[in-house]
Amino acid sequence: MVPKPFPLLIGLLACSSLAFTQATPVSSSLASSGSIALSAHPITEENRVALIRGIQAEYINVKKAFPQGKEGLIFKNGAIRPGDQEIRKLIAMNGPAARPGDKSQITGFAFKDKNVILEINGGPQKKKKWYERVSVTGMGGTTEVSPQSAQDANARGSVLIVQFDKFIPDMNVEQFKKYLAPIFDFKPLAGSEAYVESLPPKVKQALKEKRVLVGMNRDLVTLSKGRPQQKIREHDGDTEYEEWIFGVPPQDVEFVRFVGDEVVQDKIMRVGGEKIVRTEREIDMNQTTTATAKPAATDPAKKPTMRRPGDPEPELQGQPQP
């Protein structure tokens, strides 16, 4: 015969198990991480391209200190490594790449296996320009065309490695920004926001819609589209131009051609084979700069005087009149 307290204990355990099951919802397609729910499916090629366009070259406010060098920060499942004490040690040894509240820029963005790698303020390795790799060899030895000082050769940036368990989950730009909210604030900076507000409505609308206008300069194109996937320099007769390429097939591909610092042609190749080419100037950056520049100083108003029209200036009254 079973004692009476034993069935009562079994009933209490069953009720507790049922209550816990009801309070813990299970999702078959989403796994919660941090402030957003991550997809259970790998990232699509379309969203890979969108993240590169939408995150690279983006300006940010940093919420966490970044040490200079290769030992940056690792972000996984809402946790940041290393800890604050270790970060302080790295900063003491290598110096800071960015401190909390600093205005910084994401200057590199790449996918690697299950990780997303973001370079901050130039990244942990100094990248040389093409002319900095040129050297001339003669009787006196080898001389670099554009030698770098020791200070210029040192990288001052850092890196953030965003790690995932099995694969990079599918997410769009806004979801990725929310996922990185513990580290970065992607709100527009005061300086760039003020600059955008000073632009004509047509330019502001194009920036909002991520479009290029013929006549834009390189800074505006970067602000609108981010960094290009590829840059090509060619000649058209005697004219040298540089073409920025955004997108990769099978998505739409856009070719933005610069002569000097101005867009002279915008060509879009649609997936269906349609080609859109615009060459007529849509904005004049000279007028835009003039309109947003400070007004020229005006001459101060003349002081009131008792002199009649035609009377000499006070300092000339002692001199003979012609």
- pLDDT level of residue 144 (50, 70, 90 thresholds): low
The band of 112, judged by pLDDT with boundaries at 50, 70 and 90, is very high
- Tens of pLDDT, residue by residue over 12-45, are 555 544 444 444 343 333 344 445 788 999 999 9
CA 96 to chain CA centroid, nearest Å: 20
Cα separation, 37 vs 95, in Å, equals 35
The model's pTM? 0.49
For 49-67, write each residue's pLDDT tens digit: 999 989 988 889 899 999 9
**pLDDT for res 17:** 47
Question: Around 168, how many Cα atoms within 13 Å sit in the side-chain half-sphere?
Answer: 20
Q: Looking at per-residue confidence, does 301 or 27 come out higher?
A: 301
Q: Which of 287, 261, 263, 280 is nearest to 198 (CA)?
A: 287
Top-confidence residue, 318 or 176: 176
How sure is the predictor about 165, in pLDDT bands with cuts at 50, 70 and 90? very high
